[in-house]
């Protein structure tokens, strides 16, 4: 699949140290901000969070029992998918027993693919003035999200296939 020159200009992967620093800043800010919400929820907001989303947390706790061994991969997939909302993940994870390190690094790596889509959407909106159609759900965008989800789940499938226990 070949990309048009216009698309190549908009497709931004880190090509030098400065680009890598910018990407690291975006991912770090997302992870640190989410971890602050996690910490506030675990220390100050327990009662309020349980009143607000207590039913969801109970349902997720039943589902998470199956994913305890693969919590890091599960966090990455949660961050990539649009459901549940990120604020619910931020506030509820500490009440579900997700370790803070797993939460931080899962968020750090999990926000990269949606950020890629957001950049693509911004570039598409920029081209909107010169084009009659806006394509956010392109084969490239959807393929990238699916590929990252599959890569994040490979360790889970390998452990299940060979019955490894952590």
Domain ranges of the chain: 18-161
Dihedral sign computed on CA atoms, order 13, 14, 18, 23: positive
100/80: higher pLDDT: 100
Structural tokens at position 76: 């990455």
pLDDT at 29: 93
pLDDT at 45: 77
Q: Where are the beta strands (DSSP E) in 50-109?
A: none
Structure-derived torsion over alpha carbons of residues 103, 109, 114, 120, reported in degrees to the nearest 10:
160
pLDDT tens digit sequence for 111-125: 888 877 777 777 767
Provide the 10 A C-beta neighbour count for residue 37.
Answer: 18
Of 110, 119, 109, the residue nearest 141 (C-alpha): 119
Which of 45-49, 55-59, 94-98 has the highest average model confidence (pLDDT)?
Answer: 94-98
User: Cα(141)–Cα(157) distance, rounded to whole angstroms?
Assistant: 24
pLDDT at 39: 94
CB 51 within 8 A of CB 97: no
């Amino acid at each position: 699949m070949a990309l048009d020159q216009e698309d190549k200009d908009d497709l931004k992967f880190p090509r030098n140290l400065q680009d890598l620093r910018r990407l690291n800043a975006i991912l770090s800010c997302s992870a640190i901000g989410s971890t602050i919400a996690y910490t506030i929820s675990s220390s100050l907001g327990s009662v309020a969070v349980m009143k607000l989303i207590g039913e969801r947390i109970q349902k997720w706790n039943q589902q998470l029992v199956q994913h305890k061994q693969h919590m890091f991969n599960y966090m990455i997939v949660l961050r990539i998918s649009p459901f549940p909302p990120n604020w619910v993940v931020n506030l509820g994870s500490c009440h579900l027993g997700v370790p803070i390190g797993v939460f931080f690094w899962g968020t750090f790596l999990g926000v990269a693919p949606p950020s890629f889509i957001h950049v693509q959407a911004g570039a598409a909106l920029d081209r909107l003035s010169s084009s009659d159609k806006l394509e956010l759900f392109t084969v490239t965008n959807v393929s990238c999200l699916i590929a990252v989800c599959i890569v994040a789940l490979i360790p889970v499938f390998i452990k299940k296939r060979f019955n490894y226990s952590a």
